[in-house]
Structure 1
Amino acid sequence: MARRKAEIALQQEIETNEQWTALLGLKGLIVAEAYQAWCGPCKAFENIFKKIKMEQSDDLLKFAVYYGGPLKAMESRFRALKNSLGDDNLHFAIAKADNIDALEDYRGRCEPCFLFYAGNELVSVVRGANAPVIIRTINEQLAQEHKVLKGEATRKAIIDPAIEGIRRKRAESKAQAQVQHLIKTHRPITICIIKPDLIAKNKKDEIIEKIKEKGYEIVEQRDVQFTEQMAREFYSHRKDDPHFNDLIRYMTSDVSCVLALTKEGNNEEVINNWRKDIGADVEEPKENPDSFRAQYATDKLMNAIHGSDSRESATRELAFFFPDYENQNKTKNTQRTLALIRPSAFAKHKDSIVKKIKDKGFEIAMTKTVQLTKQQAEEFYSEHKGKSFFDDLVKEMSSGQMMVLCLAKDNAIQSWRNLLGPKEKEKIKDASGTLRNEFDVEGSPINSLHGPSTPEQAQKELEAFFPIEQTVAILKPGLSPDKRAEIEKKIEQLGFIIATKKSEKLSQDIAKDIYKDANNKDYYNDLVNLMTSGETEILVLSRENAIEGWREVIGNVDPAKAKVENPNSLRALYGVDVLKNAVHGATTKEQAEHEIKLLFGDVKFDKTGHLAS
């Protein structure tokens, strides 16, 4: 028993923040491998170190962080290090990244990763199970640390370049998510760029005055001198255009003026109206003589004015030019609230009610159609149980399909209550100008629409109908790294949290399991072969209404149909055909849960949608 306890102590796992802090406080060189619970540490290492331990001193190691894969080739190499491994200044540890805050950025990755620390600072990193490189790094860093401890050298701390990139991307994604939240819940925004040739001709003030005359409010304005790098990044979506280099030269030739514009209406209306106002790239003046391009454009390249062409573009461009915009607008009392169009009104007035909601300046952030059971209706209105109208209310709420909407606006809760009007049927007929008056259903004892009265009630009801949920997104083989990066950026711009992800080549069994519902299709074998043909990026996405929302984002399974139905969908933008349609998404909650377990094991998520620690 005493021998077994000694083994455990020698192969100590680091599983808490406190243990990690204590480990980094050790004198000398620490080699750490970060593993995750879903894949576990390398069992091959466990056997290797048991053998090595028996040959070395009892004060040997507290070892290293690793992600998987047999390392039999390393056994003989480590045996060759027998003398140096007995060094009191060399320590090894296995650290569970799931639980350690400092290793958060090493989660969700399958490649072995060995971290070398000295004096509480990172001094080297080796990725991959490359025995010669790992051994050489141990020797070099241990020798260097001995010199440091003797005062003969200075310790050289490093920043892990891969993790630095992840952190930068996360910061960018956070900024994009904040802007997306702004777009959904604040005033609609679109971006205008007055291009260099017009600035050179002193037309800026004239154009700005005309923009205001058309009813737009300028909420942000700045002059920008595009560098080549900025221009290439901003127009990266056009890099395959044969005139791309000419465009870059044009945009870097002089200063541009960038404006963030808003106007009454929802996001799509403002963006589409501005696109109409600026005009087509190549346009005969007689077609729209009042458009900006008809008045000022020289040719297709020097087309005078830029305008965002979609909500996603507006989000990206706002973040690109005005990253601090949200912080400057925190005085806004933006809220979200729930709206229910009850079954009788849904059957008769759905489209008219939705139009009226938009006309009143509400942003419809999410929507779904549901049908409640009698029990669900009773639970939703349990606070009214025992009241005279309770039975009629439950009967109406469970009588058929209804529409559920998440509305966003400044002071949305009270604004929605005011727009609804009185609850009591006998008072509705005298409440002209309210929705309950305008869309009252004759013969129904219950009013036609519902809205919560307090922020607490609104939050509770939104969570009931739009819970944070997870779905799987698979970026199929064949996509270039650049396109994968673009898709992931779009995912985060649309408000999804990438809770975890990994890259791997799918096995035949897993591919067949994912597409088992298509096993009677003619293309089934071709689909399985495609999915196992190369590297696949697999992500778990979290968001309110994530499953349905992701299906909307990816679009029709046939990219040709997607281009017609939703030209901004991912399959329309990146798909080739029904097989090579770029992305996969689960269609039901059950399928999403099954695929998450199949691909990531028993992972858990917290109430915010992030991976639970």
Structure 2
Amino acid sequence: MEERFAFVAEWYDPSAALLRCYQLLYYPKDGAVEMFDVKNQRTFLRRTRYEDLHPEDLFVGNRVVVFSRQLNLVDYGDQYTANKLGSKKERTLAMIKPDAVTKVGDIIQMIYDAGLVVTKAKMTKLTWKQAADFYMEHQSKSFFNNLVQFVSSGPVIVMELMGDEAVSAWRKVLGPTDSTVACRDTPASLRARFGTDGTKNAAHGSDSLASAARELEFFFPSTTGHGPFNTAKYTDCTCCIIKPHAVSEGLTGKILNSIREAGFEISALQTFNMDQANAEEFLEVYKGVVTEYTSMVAELCSGPCMALEICGTDAPRAFREVCGPADPEIARHLRPSTLRAQYGRNKVQNGVHCTDLPEDASLEVQYFFKILDG
């Protein structure tokens, strides 16, 4: 029999305000998909080739887009799929410490190069108590106070990583705890490249699946509570969104590096999964103004995006210049060094959104970091 993978997928139908359940089938031989409506017991989508879905996208907890429908993969559809695709997938926590936050672009690139995916991310500033609670297991160690003091001394970036044996894969990227040992033994590791010693060692990684579950819950609570707050300032700033297509193409690290190299400070950072209503509300200023409005909405809610608060002198105008013309083809001809020229595909999938009007800059930042993260 031809190999196929089966998943239980949920889709929120905004027009009916219903959560619909499907069986999603994927055929790796030709990249075809098929969908079956569970409630009505009928075929919803006949087997069709679909080039935008890849085997590495198929794991429980991921969100995929099939013909403009955003599907949440909530379970495996059969034991074969669970055995074949589910056994090695893990989640782990990565934390970029205050000494390496400016290296976030390079670090995210190292994460993707290791075959891991960033599924959640947030820049936050821990209080002394929050840092002490996080490192509670080291409370009796001599380095505890220094560690807590350091981690609460400035912003950190926390991320949920997903991938095959993610706990050990991320720790391999990190290298030895002491950066001086890392420099000697694993010079290509993250701590060798960006760390200084055993405390100022650039980043943290969960040491087991149990620790990963506890640490992820600390920063990204699944039930009640909010987790540590974001670092948005809302003044002298502008909004940037790394669009879903760029995130899925693994361009996040390169875009963050390009923004920093252009002289801007990234003062807040967070991943969001936009639904249709949020995307329409955020992009409402373009409704009836640009013909691509409907496609822009579809792109923004097609998968995770990363919102940034960008600070700098005359940030809205200056950053818009760095982004370049909305159409990447025009950008590549006229201003080839701009973000859209480098990372855009077309006028809708153009790498990044930036605030167009200076008076909207703070409002757009607030939409993500106050309203959506409220």
Q: Structure 1 length as normaliser, TM-score?
A: 0.31
The structure whose RCO (Cα within 8 Å, separation 6+) is larger is 2
Q: Which has the higher helix share?
A: 1
Higher strand share: 2
Larger radius of gyration: 1
